[in-house]
Structure 1
Amino acid sequence: MAPKFDQQKTKHQLFHLSISLATVLICMTYLQFQQNWTNVGSIWKSLVVPIVFTSELLKVLLARYYSHSDDNSLTQKQRQKRASYFSIREICGGLLLQFLCTVLYAFICIILGAPVLQNYEQTFVLALLLALETTTPTVLLLGGGGALQVCFCEKPDFITKSENTALELFKYNAIGAIMGAWAGSVVAPLDWDRDWQAYPIPNVVGALLGCALGNIYACSRILYATANVFLNRKRY
């Protein structure tokens, strides 16, 4: 029997990955044509953080759009629990979770070699970028309580199929951003005397390229699975 092809899920995945890859392309184009690379670490002079935030918001809205058809599968109790995760208290909890994740990433950056007594703004921008790529989309999608459950590797019981698909894709962004930011540190101590070696430029660029590689890997898996479905259909 040929495997079942979920057309809606595949569309959701490909649109999601298209947004991610387009975001990285826009950010890299912006950085390429920016006159001063040192502005990358500035919260007010760089557009990288707003671009990434807009991208994550669009991906959450996309997941919401596709999850409308799945809401009917939720029980009344699950719907009530979902609603409670978007109360004023839970929204404040989500903001607190975002803040704590940003502080945690800043602490990790310092532990791994970021300046302690200087470059506060640059460390904050890098930490905020990592939080946007890892925590923000889950908070926006599931609320503070749901995101906290995901952080402890526990899936909320009110989650729909489309939201579960989005969470799987968020994982590639998160892993790619963290690994890319860490890999970007490799070029910092090299004696090349280049402007783009200054902290946190290699880490920001590494986080963006890591996201791109993570999403390309996810896209290749999806296209491979889709091709397998159609090839198996032809055999039957």
Structure 2
Amino acid sequence: MRKLSIFYYVFFFFRGNEREEKGKVMKEVKKKEKLETSIGDSRSALGALTVYLITGLFLVVGFWVVGNKYSVDLISDPSLTLRLLWSIEFPIVVIIYSLFRRNPEECSYFRAVGRSIIGLISGALINALGAVSLGAPIGMQSLPKTIHWSFLMSVFTFVPATAVFGASWTDWHRVFASLKPTGNIEYMIVIPAYGAIIGGWFGAWPMPLDWERPWQEWPVCVCYGGIGGYIVGQIVSLSLMLFLRKSKNLKLA
């Protein structure tokens, strides 16, 4: 009888611990679901459209400043044009995407801004090395063009992800390598980034042709291709968000 009572004691002890662990897990799951729901509400397709309109507006402002204040363009002075474009676009991208940072309880807004600056520099270096390895001209005359083009591409590709993910290798690998975005903000990051890269690659095709056009010079057509691809990527990501939302609503119905 004593052995039986000991058995019941041990059984209910572990049973109680198991229930306690299950309760903790359920609380964490509910907390995560609540967070994901709030994230889904704030980062809806309408929110993405607003972000795209704002960032697109600042690109337009950049071109307006270049053309009206300095009377140049990508063909006549690509270095100055690119420098003005990325310096105008970068702050607004940082301001917006830092609001969507992961773990805002642990990562302050200013920390997200700070790591975005690191992402800008790191991304520019990677873009510059990639461009040179794929045939971009090397020389003192082309160096400023390459640097400022790399900074603009970094604003399109690295800065949003750095503001949101920071140095989380798991998120970077899942979103960019495995192509498994799980929310609207991740679609807003990965698809326009790949759009800019693919657009820049297609934009480079006319460069080696012997048409002898001024826009074939590095990095004019590549820059137009990157900007065009970035805009197309935004349109594709927005369409995908709307499609997934519609599919989810149909499943729930």
Same-fold call, TM > 0.5?
yes
- Judge conservation of contact 2:193–2:230 (CA < 8 Å) in 1: yes
- Judge conservation of contact 1:12–1:62 (CA < 8 Å) in 2: no
How far off is 1:208 after superposition?
Answer: 0.6
Distance 1:212 1:170, change over 3 A: same
- Does 2:74 align with 1:40? no
Q: How does 1:1-236 map to 2 (within 5 A)?
A: 7-10=41-44, 11-27=46-62, 34-36=71-73, 37-42=75-80, 46-60=83-97, 63=100, 79-80=105-106, 82=107, 86=111, 91=114, 95-118=117-140, 119-143=142-166, 145-146=167-168, 148-153=169-174, 165-226=184-245, 232=250
Give secondary structure in 2 for the equivalent of 1:99. helix
Give secondary structure in 1 for the equivalent of 2:43. helix
Distance 2:241 2:175 in 1: 25
The residue type equivalent to 1:13 in the other structure is A
Give aligned-pair identity as a percent. Answer: 19
- Judge conservation of contact 2:203–2:224 (CA < 8 Å) in 1: yes
The residue type equivalent to 2:87 in the other structure is P
Give secondary structure in 1 for the equivalent of 2:174. coil
Task: State the structure with bigger RCO (CA 8 A, min sep 6), 1 or 2.
Answer: 1
The residue type equivalent to 2:123 in the other structure is C
- Judge conservation of contact 2:196–2:229 (CA < 8 Å) in 1: yes
How far off is 1:140 after superposition?
Answer: 2.7
The residue type equivalent to 2:111 in the other structure is F
Runs of 4+ in 1 over 4 A off after TM superposition: 23-34, 93-97, 225-230
Give secondary structure in 1 for the equivalent of 2:204. helix
- Give unmatched runs, 5+ long, in structure 1: 72-78, 156-160
How far off is 1:176 after superposition?
Answer: 1.0
Give secondary structure in 1 for the equivalent of 2:205. helix
Distance 1:192 1:141, change over 3 A: same
How far off is 1:27 after superposition?
Answer: 5.0
Q: Judge which range, 23-32 or 199-208, deviates more.
A: 23-32
Distance 1:141 1:121, change over 3 A: same
The residue type equivalent to 2:133 in the other structure is I
Task: Please give the per-residue CA displacement for 1:77-129, whole angstroms capped at 9, x wherever unaligned.
Answer: xx34x46x939xx94x7655543332221111111111122311111111111
Task: Please give the per-residue CA displacement for 1:185-221, whole angstroms capped at 9, x wherever unaligned.
Answer: 1121223332222111111111110001101111222
- Judge conservation of contact 1:23–1:52 (CA < 8 Å) in 2: yes
The residue type equivalent to 1:128 in the other structure is F
Distance 1:49 1:96, change over 3 A: closer
- Judge conservation of contact 2:157–2:193 (CA < 8 Å) in 1: yes
- Give unmatched runs, 5+ long, in structure 2: 1-36, 177-181
- Judge conservation of contact 1:38–1:198 (CA < 8 Å) in 2: no
Distance 1:18 1:97, change over 3 A: closer
Task: Please give the per-residue CA displacement for 1:4-59, whole angstroms capped at 9, x wherever unaligned.
Answer: 9x65432322222323443455456667775442322237x742112321341243
Coordinate RMSD, CA, aligned: 3.8
- Judge conservation of contact 1:63–1:166 (CA < 8 Å) in 2: yes
- Count of residue pairs the alignment pairs up: 204
- Judge conservation of contact 1:17–1:219 (CA < 8 Å) in 2: no
